[in-house]
Amino acid sequence: MLTPFKRACDEDFYIRGPKNSSRLEFCGFLPVSSCMEISCHPRKKSRHNASLLQGESNFKRDAKDLINMLPDECLLEIFRWLPGPKDRSVCAGVSKHWLMLQSSFSRTELKYRSQPFPKPFGESLSVNSNKIAKPGAANLDDESNDDCSGAAAEEEGIIDADIDRKGVTQKGMSKKQSVQATGDLTRCLEGKKANDIRLAAIAVCTGGCGGLGKLLIRGDISCQGVTDVGLAAIGLGCPGLRVLSLWNCPFISDKGLAAIAKGCRLLEKLDLFQCPWIGDNGLESVALNCPNLLNLNLESCPSVGDKSLKAVGQNCVKLKSLRISNCSLVSDEGIITILSKANSLMKAKFQALRLTDISLAALGHYGKSLTDLSLENLNNVTEKGFWSLGNAMGLQKLKHFSVSACRGLSDASTDAVGLGCLSLKQFSIRKCESITDKGLTALSHSVMSLENLRIEECNLISSFGVMDVLSNCSGKLKVLSLIKCEGVKDQAQFSRPFPVCESLKSLNICHCPGVGNGFLALLGNACPQFEELDLSGLSGISDEGLLALLQSSKRSLVKVNLSGCVQVTDWAVYAIASLCGENLHTLNLEGCRKVTDQSLKVIADLCPALEDLDLAKCGITDNGVVSLVSARQQAIQILSLSGCMQITDKCLPFIEKMSKTLLGLNLQHCNGLSQTALDTVGAHLWRCDLLVS
């Protein structure tokens, strides 16, 4: 039924709304003619809310963002007067522009107030802070918002709690001092996350959390990555930075590294890997501004040369570790300067450099504090250089010496090294084609404290040289490793006195094609006390040689690796379990296809302490897995069944019973397992690291 509309008057306005309502707010639903009576359908809902929203939108459209209209100088002055790091983090979350502005000035430019703000101004500031906390998610993208908001939340929960709990922070430190960075935090940026926005957020938001102490950047060539702008922000905002590692950062130049050097004077470790645009100017700035530098690692930096290394040697006298690899401009001049000035240098590595015999002579003369030395791919160093290294008699404290792919290491120079390095405990040689049994025997005669000997791809060393080492170092040698040595093989007869090295605890013979059962039987008599055995890749040995080696041992094995020993069968596994089962912790049978379910039954009964078992590519079935899992005392934490083609879904329910102890399970390349069953196993073994194909 139609209802007539009465003439509108002031009383109608007061009845429909509050008396203080504006008349303009109701103009949207007034009749066209105030004097005309008309009939219309009754409205179900008043439309005055829509008119209000329309008025608000018009107001917002007409309003201007006055604060962003201010010049950057005014905004910077405002940011300087923010009371604390929490407020700076909130403001940084508003937009990238505000974030980058805050990251453009150092912490020394901040204006701290000794007294709180007046009440009205403080209240308005808190209201504004709550208001500007919301736009951060909208204006900052995901790359910057995570760091800003996360740091702000961390400051709320950690920094304020620290101040409240300690009152004045650590040992009377004032609140102003606590805001300054002390270098307690570690940040690692990898791939696409390594960019300038995140670095700026870290520089702004970590000040109240203890300060950034370690920064690791692993860049990505496919994206823009970190540039000098990001490093400049870190240099201004993180004065407590002690460790900086830059990997694969092609857009960083000397300018960015110089900004770090000027702002982070407490820098102790610098690691540069594949940074082509960082050269002498940037590294020289680090040397001049960071006298506390202790570790310097340079790898694949083609622009770094002798000029910057000379500056490092003259200014960073506390240097303890120096590693330089694949830097084509580095020569003798820079290395000698560092060696002559850095008297505390303890570790040094030189790889693929244009060094000559002069540098090795300097190493032998100045390296009185060296304990670790590694020389690799030094093609310009001759036999004279290694001879000078040993005869200088300056490496009396050297304990670990590694030589790889250096043609200058011969029998005579090896003898000189042994005479000059009397404290040597670990010696490693790799791809040294000139050294023979004579040099190895001379070294073992000179160095009586040798504990670890590693020989890799030295084909002129034979079984006789190995036996001489065991005989001469019988009281100290603990680890012997022979890797890819074609000269080590079975000998028809051994006429020399039979050596016995009871100190040897670890025997590693890997991928030596000439080693067979005869050499294993010989080693069994020479090394009766070893506890760790690695025979991986020896396709020429069988159960006979392995049994001869084990029967001569007087100690129970703890670790056994037989991966790639294709002739080993269940008899060898039974011998290992019978002789060493109670103490055996690790057993690797990868690629032993003749190992079947019988071995698993023996392992289940005789090896209660076994924690790591690798059965990849073995000839086992579901029955063997069930026997292994059903053992009364079962402590396996790591289990690999990769490439076992004969196992099916039937064994998976039994594997699920190992959920209490199992931490790692490898089921890759098992074609007999269905995806549904694998998903079920993954749901039950939620504590376990599961690998599936």
**Which of 562, 692, 582, 585 lies closest to 636 in space, CA to CA?**
585
- Strand residues in 12-63 grouped as ranges (E): 39-40
CATH topology of domain 556-693: 3.80.10
**Residue 361 CA, distance from chain mean position:** 35
Measured CA to CA, the distance from residue 313 to residue 167 in angstroms comes to 44
> Is residue 170 scored above 90 in pLDDT?
no
Which of 174-178, 223-227, 374-378, 475-479 is least confident? 174-178
Residue with more model confidence, 100 or 27: 100
What pLDDT was estimated at residue 61? 52
**Which residue carries 């508003």 as its tokens?**
94
What pLDDT was estimated at residue 181? 45
Give 641-664 pLDDT, tens digit per residue. 999 999 999 999 999 988 888 999
What pLDDT was estimated at residue 65? 62
What pLDDT was estimated at residue 80? 81
Which of 73-82, 123-132, 554-563 is least confident? 123-132
Q: How confident is the model at residue 494 (pLDDT cuts 50, 70, 90)?
A: low
Dmax (CA) for the chain in angstroms is 133
* Mean pLDDT value across residues 65-75: 76
Residue with more model confidence, 63 or 440: 440
What pLDDT was estimated at residue 57? 53
Task: Name the DSSP letter for residue 646.
Answer: T
Kind plus residue range of the DSSP H or E element containing 635: none
Measuring CA to CA, how many Å separate 28 from each of 10, 44, 47, 50, 331? 16, 16, 8, 9, 86
What pLDDT was estimated at residue 493? 66
Measuring CA to CA, how many Å separate 454 from each of 414, 416, 451, 459, 489? 14, 19, 10, 13, 17
Measured CA to CA, the distance from residue 379 to residue 377 in angstroms comes to 6
* Mean pLDDT value across residues 16-34: 40
Give 357-408 pLDDT, tens digit per residue. 999 999 999 999 999 999 999 999 999 999 999 999 999 999 999 999 999 9
Give 202-260 pLDDT, tens digit per residue. 988 886 676 899 999 998 877 778 999 999 999 998 999 999 999 999 999 999 999 99
What pLDDT was estimated at residue 625? 94
**Which residue carries 């020399």 as its tokens?**
496
Q: How confident is the model at residue 28 (pLDDT cuts 50, 70, 90)?
A: very low
What pLDDT was estimated at residue 12? 43
What pLDDT was estimated at residue 9? 44
Q: How confident is the model at residue 443 (pLDDT cuts 50, 70, 90)?
A: very high
Mean pLDDT over the full length of the chain = 82
Give 556-566 pLDDT, tens digit per residue. 899 999 999 99
Give 583-627 pLDDT, tens digit per residue. 999 999 999 999 999 999 999 999 999 999 999 999 999 999 999
> Is residue 457 scored above 80 in pLDDT?
yes
Measured CA to CA, the distance from residue 581 to residue 285 in angstroms comes to 60
Structural contact between residues 231 and 259, judged by C-beta atoms closer than 8 angstroms: yes
User: Has this prediction a pTM greater than 0.85?
Assistant: no
What pLDDT was estimated at residue 490? 85
What pLDDT was estimated at residue 224? 76
Burial category of 27 from C-beta neighbours within 10 Å (exposed 0-12, middle 13-18, buried 19 and up):
exposed
Measuring CA to CA, how many Å separate 366 from each of 369, 370, 393, 421, 423? 8, 9, 10, 14, 17
The domain spans of the chain are: 3-62, 72-176, 556-693
What pLDDT was estimated at residue 62? 52
> Is residue 491 scored above 80 in pLDDT?
no
Share of the chain above pLDDT 70, in %: 78
Phi first, then psi, for residue 524 (nearest 5°) are -60, -40
Give 502-530 pLDDT, tens digit per residue. 899 999 999 999 999 999 988 988 899 99
Q: How confident is the model at residue 81 (pLDDT cuts 50, 70, 90)?
A: confident
> Is residue 134 scored above 50 in pLDDT?
no
Task: Name the DSSP letter for residue 159.
Answer: I
> Is residue 483 scored above 80 in pLDDT?
yes
**Residue 226 CA, distance from chain mean position:** 19
Q: How confident is the model at residue 48 (pLDDT cuts 50, 70, 90)?
A: very low
Q: How confident is the model at residue 101 (pLDDT cuts 50, 70, 90)?
A: confident
The b-or-e profile of 647-671 (16+ CB within 10 A means b, else e) is: bbeebbeebbebeeebeebbbebbe
Structural contact between residues 584 and 568, judged by C-beta atoms closer than 8 angstroms: no
Q: Which two tokens stand for residue 171?
A: 């040992």
Measured CA to CA, the distance from residue 506 to residue 402 in angstroms comes to 19
What pLDDT was estimated at residue 221? 72
Structural contact between residues 496 and 522, judged by C-beta atoms closer than 8 angstroms: no
What pLDDT was estimated at residue 687? 87
Q: How confident is the model at residue 63 (pLDDT cuts 50, 70, 90)?
A: low
* Mean pLDDT value across residues 71-100: 82
Measured CA to CA, the distance from residue 275 to residue 297 in angstroms comes to 12
